[in-house]
Amino acid sequence: MLSIVMGATTIAVAQGGGGGGFQRQTPEQRTAAIHAKLDSAFKTPAAKLASLDTALTVLFKQQDEKMQAMRAGGQQVDRETMMAERKKYTDSRDAMIKAILTDEQFAIWRDKIEPSMRPQRPGGGGGGGNN
C-alpha cells in the first residue's frame, strides 16, 4: 500500500503537482530554450548566440516586469491590451533573432521552430457534460 501511495505522489509531483498550475519559465530559461533551438537547428556561431542571449534575457525581464505591472493594478486588464503588449515583445524578439539568421533560416524559425516552443495547454477531461 505504501508503495502505491509513494508512486502516485511521485507521478503527481513529476506532472506539476495536483493543482494543474502552469509554472512560468524565467527569462533565463526562455533564453536558454531559444539558444538551444537555434544552435541545434542552424549551428549558429557561439559569438552570435552569446550576444543574442544577453539581449533576449534583458527583453524577457522587461516583458515580465511590464506584465506584472499591468496585473498589479488590481483591475482586470482586457485581453486585447495584454495581447498587444505581448506582440510588441514578440516582434522585438523576432527582430533580434532575424538579425543573426539568414532569411531562409528565419522563415524556418518562424514557421516551424517557434510554434513548437509555445506552451501547450494541458488536455484533459473534465466537463464533457454527457454523463
Domain range annotation of the chain: 24-117
pLDDT of residue 92: 94
Angle of helix 79-98 relative to helix 27-42, nearest 10 degrees?
40
Query: Is pLDDT of 36 > 90?
Result: yes
- Distance between CA 54 and CA 56 in Å, rounded? 6
Full-model pTM: 0.70
The band of 67, judged by pLDDT with boundaries at 50, 70 and 90, is: confident
Coil, strand or helix at 77: coil
For 42-71, the DSSP string reads H---HHHHHHHHHHHHHHHHHHHHHHHHHH
Query: Is pLDDT of 126 > 60?
Result: no
- Say if residues 33 and 45 touch (Cβ distance below 8 Å): no
